[in-house]
Every structure is written in structure tokens, then in C-alpha cells.
Amino acid sequence: MLADMGAEVIKIESAEGETMRTRPPVRHGCSTAFGQLNVGKKSVVLDLKCSADVEAVRRLVATADILVENFRPGVMQRLGLAYATLSELNPRLIYCSISGYGQTGPSAELPAYAPVIHAASGYEMAHLAYQPGRSRPDYCGIYHADVVTGTYAFGAIASALYQRERTGRGQHIDCSMLESMLSLTLNEIQGAQFAVEPPQRPPFGPAETRDGYVMIAVASEKTFQNLMGVIGRPAWVEDPRFARYADRRRHWGDLMDGVEAWSSGLTTAECVAALSAGGVPSSAYRSVA
């Protein structure tokens, strides 16, 4: 993301390279996933266990605007590359540390990858709560924590650059995957502190069609009214079960049963066409391909 904005980005790797270089799919001997993540970057090989190579990092830092590292807290200190040390070389340096649990606290030095943080943050159990009749958490195949935390780091770095224009000094940014994942569970964080009556059925989920499923997002009064018109239930706009948002949540199962009575008689394409024409946000369930 920084490279896309015009930054010169230099990625430091050990001689053997990171394991992402071999992640399938491999094309012409190179991982396309690695290519997608590293497009626009330059590369340099350094062995941080070698004092001469650590000195090379210090020379890079002397003229750099930003350093991003994602070692466990304490590792950069042991290498002699902590913020306190490097900021003496370059007071304008913005030093961004990305870690599992943050730079301080009882879990700070624990090893962590995205799937571990998904479990530790409550995200996986929160997601499971929306899958009726299931008790086993999902397998993790999509690494939200990596992407979300990197994006928050990007935003923090941009803010730090702006602040540096005012103060002339850089700063140490502490960006944790745990806090990033917690930002995705707004309703769950509030529900963990204050009693909330759950709806009959999760608000957003698949509605069955004649040949598959469609996602219908009812997130405003206007959308609800439009949907009732599309499915031929205009009287439900005034129905005491559904007229007010709070009552509608309590009777969400009844509402969606009525929606599926309509959608199950149509193909997915017919449903999406009717919903789109009626101003109701919807989509067929597509594969990434």
C-alpha cells in the first residue's frame, strides 16, 4: 500500500527467503501470492545475526522515513535495532511494530499468527454464533488479522507522517493483531458488556432460491419497506411484529420465512433482478473465481 502511494519500499529477507516465496500457486518458479503481496518493493538480503548486516540496517535507517517490523517484542531490542536506539540515528524515523498482542502486557511475547489471533480475539466464536446448530469453530483459511492489521498500520503510518511535518520528529507505532481483530466485532464487544436479546435468526444470511441462495441485506427502514413491496407483503410494513425495528429483530425468523416463501419460487438470477429493481441490496453467492 505504501508502494502504491509512491514510497520506495525495501524488503529485508534472510538468504533463504521467506516461506511465502514457495506458497502455491507457483508460476515460473515464483509464488504468485508472494508476488501479489510484494509488488512494487525492492529486495535486500541481510543476516540480522551478523553484526555487519545489522550495521547495514542502521545505514538504511539513517536516511529512511519509515521502518516496519513484525518480530516478537524484544527481538529488535536484542538485535540492537530498538526504536530508542534507531531514533538517535534518525529522530524523524517512524518505526512501526506489528505484533500479535502488542508491545506490552502479559501476552506480548507469545508467538502468534493470524489464525491464533482469530481464536484469541473471540472472532471465531463470534462468527460461530451466527451458524445455527453448529458448535465446532470453522477452519481458518482466510487471514483477516494479517490484512486488517497491515491496513491499520498503513493508516497509522500516514498519520505519523503528517504529525512529523508539524513536529519534525518520528514516533514508535504499536499495532497489534488482537486489537485490530477486536475492531471487527463491534456488536459482540457491546453484547459482552450489556445484555442484548438475540434475534430469532441471524440478520444477514442466505435466503434459499430455486437453484441456490441469495444474500439480502435489510439495514434501513427504507430497505425493509422496499423488500416488503418486492415480495408482495406491503401490509407487513404496518404489521406489529415488524413495524418497529426492535420488534422486527425479535421476529426476524418470521420475517425471513416470509422472504424465503417468495425467493424459493424463483431462480437466484430472478431474485437478484427483482430485488435490485426494488432498491434492495442483494447478491448471488459467487466464488472468488
Q: Spell out the domains of the chain, with CATH numbers in brackets.
A: 46-186 (3.40.50.10540), 206-284 (3.30.1540.10)
Residue 197 predicted with pLDDT over 90: no
Q: Express each pLDDT in 149-168 by its tens digit.
A: 999 999 999 999 999 999 99
Instruction: State the Cα–Cα distance between residues 182 and 250, nearest whole angstrom.
Output: 26
Which residues lie below 8 Å from residue 151, measured CB to CB, with a gap of 6+?
1
Q: Express each pLDDT in 76-113 by its tens digit.
A: 999 999 999 999 999 999 999 999 999 999 999 999 99
What's the pLDDT score for residue 163?
A: 98
Enclosing H/E stretch for 126: helix 123-128
Residue 132 predicted with pLDDT over 90: no
What's the pLDDT score for residue 271?
A: 98
Which residues lie below 8 Å from residue 267, measured CB to CB, with a gap of 6+?
209, 210, 211
Q: What DSSP character marks residue 1?
A: -
Q: Express each pLDDT in 225-248 by its tens digit.
A: 999 999 999 999 999 999 999 999
> In whole numbers, what is the pLDDT of the chain averaged over residues?
96
Enclosing H/E stretch for 87: helix 83-89
Q: Could you count the other beta carbons within 10 Å of the beta carbon of residue 6?
A: 7
* Full-model pTM: 0.91
DSSP string, 56-75: HHHHHHHH-SEEEE-SPTTH
Report, as an integer, the average pLDDT of 191-213: 91
Residue of 2, 156, 146, 1 whose CA lies nearest to 64 = 2
CB-side exposure of 245: number of CA atoms within 13 Å?
7
Q: Which of helix, strand or coil describes residue 45? A: strand
Q: Which three cell numbers stand for residue 115?
A: 489464525
Residue 46 predicted with pLDDT over 90: yes
